Chains A and B, each alone.
Chain A
Amino acid sequence: MRFKVNGTEHSITVDPDMPVLWVLRDLLELRGTKFGCGVGLCGACTVHVNGTPVRSCQTLAREVEGKEVTTIEGLSPNADHPLQKAWIELDVPQCGYCQAGQLMTAAWLLKQKPHPTHRDIDEAMSDNLCRCGTYLRIRKAILRAAELKEGKA
């Protein structure tokens, strides 16, 4: 099958039922996308398919034929997405394992809602579990990223 990942075209032979999570991690060596539960309940595996966040553990290889997948490695060329900058500025992570999924969901949120409210953040981000409890910093960082996107200092 053929599909794009982070702007690069790939043509691979793969079991069409393999979850995209394992295609990315094991076949394409992109291990920034994480395995947390395998049943779509924790969000650690979140990637974008044609710009929309999906759980890659529940998305089969056949479903991304001809589509564009974006992973955490492709969120920005230089760690300079406003979310990444805000995350660095505010020291968001603890163990860090959930953060790729959090960022991918948040990136989509900011695209839909450049000025998200607390309620918007609640609704968009509640599919992403953080066991370390960095939620308070995540919320702050999303609001900060919105500011940075605006060009505010």
Chain B
Amino acid sequence: MNEISRRQFLKASATSAGGLFVGLYAFGSREPLQSATSTQLTAFVEIEPQGIVNIFAGRPEIGQGVLIAIPRMIAEELDVDWQRVRIRQPSILAMDEKYGDQFTGGSTSVHESIDPMRQAGAVARALLVAAAAKRWGVAADSCTTNSGQILHQPTGRTLKYEEVAADAAQFPVPKDVPLKDPGQYQLLGKPATRTDVREIVTGQVEYGLDVKIPGMLRAFIERCPVFGGKVKSFNAERTLKVSGVKRVVEIRADDFRLPSGRPIMTSNGVAVIADSTWAAWKGRDLLQVEWTEGEHANESTENLRSRSADLLPKTPADILMNDGNFDTAFASSAKKLEAVYEMPFVEASPLEPMNCTARFENGRCEVWAPAQNPYAVQQFAGAATGLDPKTWMEAVTVHPLRPGGGFGRRLDSDYAAEAAFLAKAIGGTVQVIWTREDEIQHSLYRTMGSHRLQAGLDSNGLPVAWSHHVVNPSRYAYQHSTDSKPYNSEVYPDDFPAHVIPNFRVGYSRIECPVPIGYYRSMVHSSNNFALQSFLDEIAHAGGKDPVALRLELLGKDRDLPYADHGGPAFNTGRLRKVLEAAAEHGNWGKSLPENHGRGIACGFVFGSYVAEVAEVSIEGGKNIRVERMVAAVDPGRIVNPAGVEVQVQGAVIDGLNMALNLEITLERGRVIQSSFADYSYFRIKDIPPIEVYLLPSDATPWGIGEIPVPPAISAVANAVFAATGKRIRRLPIRL
């Protein structure tokens, strides 16, 4: 297990109320802008004199359950009665502290937190024991703890944590405190219920849009419908006549970027600012804007597909992997297969539309943001208000608010940039609100893509040559990423079946595209897994092999293979084999199905966790696809909260089903065509099949779960549709 890294340290102090406070601090060093001495509180445990234990851990809760999981880690090592624990949300601390590693994304929260958080709990416990031992005049190692009490075994004396809490702060923070053996766990690995449901079902939770800051105004922004277009002129005469409308302000998004060159807003536009939501809404409706549509006015999905199709058969611009000699092996193989897979842009559309509240006064910016990365909010707001980057840590205060869903969309803090810019423009407090149409048309998108796959099979139907060419617009290119290449965000060359097929080649070519590219749950995997797992299915059928048998044959002996990207450094074939076998077994693989039904299977190693899924579909009238059943087998390493894992898997599978069957963002004339949940639609309760989740935990380092089941859900459904109809699906969303 890792120790707390040198970038983090624990500090103990007595509270003014007579309690113990142990804080975990991190150096903020993700950007060279921070001074080496600036530190941020990332977690704490506080023992109150009345015995209540407050635990705070700063990862934003977007519905994925870190609000429970992370405090459980601290409480486990602290050895405290869970009923005495109160979980504090980040917003309470936001007034006083600045933030370091406080983001929720990449399915990393549990993985990155588990060791430092357990240390924090263990250190607090050690301090309490030291204080009790001193009071009794005994050796600390003759004391044990149980559920908030210290016990001196030989004499049977006990002290409650709160009775020694103030004294405990006087002791030096011990360096290497032993952690519990997992066999002793009382909390971790056991299902925990959420603590916020009562608040939610009574309408008491404050989401981003619910924040109320005295004097705040509301703003809607009319954004250029064409990507990259600009404001030519605008007429606000009728707008300004609406009672309550205060100002109309142009936003030149192009003028603002991070120091790296990364854009901080997606669109140029004109903002209507009013003293009420309704006045701002009405005012915006009456605004007249003329646009200079610009060079992308004729961009379209068809153009992008066509430009991709031109590149696909050519030599990739970048070769990322080149084992053996694909061309020779392919030319001489018994059977040759080729397929092109395509997927559209998709938009994450959390149910709470983008919004953010900001105030700018005396060169300081304050932001209330429902964000997934409060740190990025600080940067985007700092850049939007023209503050010197070296001052952002001090000059921009971020109050993270609970978001109504994230899904990756809220990792980009463009909404914060807009609010901060407008706050400065009017010298006050502004809440920017996006409508659903704004969200669907002016967002950042999971990129479209085209994949060309080729395989040469031997006479036994086993692939002996494989080539994968990915063509798409790159997110890293859009973000002006300086320390990565454009292909690093688009393809992971070590993805299975890499390293198990000789003569294996992976290449990438980028296409130019004006669409802003962002994050959507499972990222590159939601596209690539569809291509890879569909093609493996095609290979299986071409070679007369069962799709599960082919995958098992390729996985071979249980061993580690290299994996250089997020979730690595190793990919273990045995763990993938086990989830594949479990999904197949529970999914009744190989058993018969009624007519017009089909079963498909897919698997993946996604951000460190292993997953396999079986989908059962039925086809009605040769056209209508209904998912009848989903089975998911998941190995995310050691599981902190099995109850949380199960619902995350179900939610992620549903996201995958939507990507498989519903979601498509289409470009025509440089703009997004879709505009509401009517033409960009998500499944409703009547569409959802039973989703069975089988957890295969291990003692391995825990990785994530929030994103992991999305990709194989898509691929399993596509393979199931083939099984039901004989029609191979090469394009998403699936249409018959």
A: residues with CB less than 8 A from B are 15, 18-19, 22, 25-26, 29-39, 41-42, 44, 71-73, 75, 79, 83-84, 87-88, 91-100, 103, 121-123, 125-139
Q: Shortest Cβ distance from A110 into chain B, in angstroms?
A: 14
Q: Shortest Cβ distance from B296 into chain A, in angstroms?
A: 27
- The residue from B351, B652, B655 contacting A36, defined by CB atoms under 8 A apart: B351
Are A94 and B63 also in contact (CB < 8 A) when A41-B678, A133-B655 are? Answer: yes
Beta-carbon contact of A96 and B200 below 8 Å? yes
Say yes or no for B407: interface residue by CB 8 A criterion: yes
Beta-carbon contact of A95 and B688 below 8 Å? no
Contacts of A18 in B (CB 8 A): 278
Q: Complex formed: what's the CA distance from A97 to B493 in Å? A: 38
Say yes or no for B277: interface residue by CB 8 A criterion: yes
23 residue pairs from A and B, CB less than 8 Å apart: A19-B278, A22-B276, A31-B212, A34-B207, A36-B436, A37-B353, A42-B677, A44-B351, A75-B202, A87-B197, A87-B201, A95-B351, A95-B402, A96-B200, A98-B351, A100-B203, A103-B201, A123-B686, A126-B686, A128-B684, A129-B677, A132-B651, A135-B688
Say yes or no for B115: interface residue by CB 8 A criterion: no
Interface of A (DSSP majority class): loop
Beta-carbon contact of A91 and B194 below 8 Å? yes
Beta-carbon contact of A126 and B685 below 8 Å? yes
How many chain-B residues does the 8 Å CB contact rule pick out? 56
Beta-carbon contact of B688 and A34 below 8 Å? no
Say yes or no for B209: interface residue by CB 8 A criterion: yes
Q: Complex formed: what's the CA distance from A126 to B403 in Å? A: 23
Q: Shortest Cβ distance from B655 into chain A, in angstroms?
A: 7
**What is the number of contacts between chain A and chain B, taking CB atoms within 8 Å?**
169
Contacts of A121 in B (CB 8 A): 685
Q: Shortest Cβ distance from B156 into chain A, in angstroms?
A: 39
Which residues of B (140-195) have their CB < 8 Å from a CB of A? 193-194
Closest to B352 in A: A97
Smallest CB-CB A-B distances: 7 pairs: A32-B203, A97-B404, A95-B63, A94-B63, A133-B654, A133-B651, A122-B686
Beta-carbon contact of A93 and B197 below 8 Å? yes
Beta-carbon contact of B203 and A93 below 8 Å? no
Contacts of A134 in B (CB 8 A): 647, 651
Q: Complex formed: what's the CA distance from A93 to B38 in Å? A: 37
Q: Complex formed: what's the CA distance from A102 to B177 in Å? A: 47
Say yes or no for B653: interface residue by CB 8 A criterion: yes
Besides A71-B203, A121-B685, 7 new A-B residue pairs in contact (Cβ under 8 A), listed by A number? A31-B203, A39-B676, A72-B202, A95-B350, A126-B685, A130-B351, A133-B654
Q: Shortest Cβ distance from A19 into chain B, in angstroms?
A: 7
Closest to A122 in B: B686
Q: Complex formed: what's the CA distance from A135 to B657 in Å? A: 14
Q: Complex formed: what's the CA distance from A129 to B682 in Å? A: 8
Contacts of A73 in B (CB 8 A): 202-203
Beta-carbon contact of A96 and B196 below 8 Å? yes
Closest to B675 in A: A39
Contacts of A39 in B (CB 8 A): 436, 676-677
Q: Shortest Cβ distance from A57 into chain B, in angstroms?
A: 10
Are A96 and B202 also in contact (CB < 8 A) when A26-B276, A138-B685 are? Answer: no
Contacts of A35 in B (CB 8 A): 209, 352-353, 433
Q: Shortest Cβ distance from B581 into chain A, in angstroms?
A: 25
Q: Shortest Cβ distance from A20 into chain B, in angstroms?
A: 11
Q: Shortest Cβ distance from B433 into chain A, in angstroms?
A: 8
Q: Complex formed: what's the CA distance from A39 to B204 in Å? A: 24
Beta-carbon contact of B207 and A91 below 8 Å? no
Beta-carbon contact of B685 and A139 below 8 Å? yes
Are A93 and B210 also in contact (CB < 8 A) when A39-B676, A87-B201, A139-B685 are? Answer: no
Are A36 and B353 also in contact (CB < 8 A) when A31-B203, A73-B202, A134-B651 are? Answer: yes
Against A, the Cβ 8 Å flags (1 = close, 0 = not) of B438-476 are 000000000000000000000000000000000000000
Beta-carbon contact of A126 and B277 below 8 Å? no
Q: Complex formed: what's the CA distance from A75 to B198 in Å? A: 13
Contacts of B403 in A (CB 8 A): 95
Are A131 and B351 also in contact (CB < 8 A) when A93-B197, A95-B404, A96-B404 are? Answer: yes
Q: Complex formed: what's the CA distance from A94 to B638 in Å? A: 22
Q: Complex formed: what's the CA distance from A32 to B199 in Å? A: 10
Beta-carbon contact of A93 and B682 below 8 Å? no
Say yes or no for B643: interface residue by CB 8 A criterion: yes
Beta-carbon contact of A38 and B198 below 8 Å? no
A83, A91, A103: most-surrounded residue (chain B CB, <10 A): A91
Beta-carbon contact of A131 and B201 below 8 Å? no
Q: Complex formed: what's the CA distance from A136 to B201 in Å? A: 17
